[in-house]
Amino acid sequence: MEGCNLYAYVYNRAMNTTFAKVPQTLGVSDFRAALARNLAKAKKNPLIISDRKGGESYVVLSSSDYNKLIELWEDEQDGLELQRLIKANRGKKRIPWEKVRDSAHR
């Protein structure tokens, strides 16, 4: 089955935008026919699996790559929450860290 090359829009930890080439799309039947080989490939690079032309597509990637992806998303969410909190607390009285730390140890 002939697939297409896709480009993924990815943010790295430094929040620099990069484009990474995604491997050729495989059909479900082709993926199943060489399952062990394709899972080994997914340890190195994500695989795009398509159930039929124009249908749903799925990404198969290693658990370590998945965990890295989740960590990047969580970092982005933390950054957005910090921006929200800074904006919401602009002009409000701040409590010094030493006072918070000392009250926690009592």
How high is the pLDDT of residue 5?
Answer: 38
Please name the residues in contact with 92: beta carbons below 8 A apart, sequence gap of 6 or more. none
Which whole number is the average pLDDT over 6-14? 43
Per the structure, the complete domain to which residue 82 belongs is given by 63-106
> Does 29 lie in the same domain as 6?
yes
Number of structural domains the chain divides into: 2
Whether residues 47 and 3 fall in one domain: yes
Mean pLDDT of the chain: 78
Yes or no: say if 25 and 2 are a contact pair by the CB < 8 Å rule.
no
Encoded tokens for 38: 């394709």
At 26 the pLDDT is 83
Whether residues 6 and 55 share a domain: the answer is yes
53 shares its domain with 70: no
Complete DSSP assignment for 43-96: HHS-EEEESSTTS-EEEE--HHHHHHHHHHHHHHHHHHHHHHHHHHTTTSPPPP
Summarize pLDDT for 23-66 with one digit per residue, the tens: 567 888 888 899 999 899 888 888 888 887 767 788 888 888 88
Same domain flag for 25 and 55: yes
- 53 and 86 inside one domain: no
Note the pTM of the prediction, 2 decimals. Answer: 0.57
Beta bridge partners of 29: none
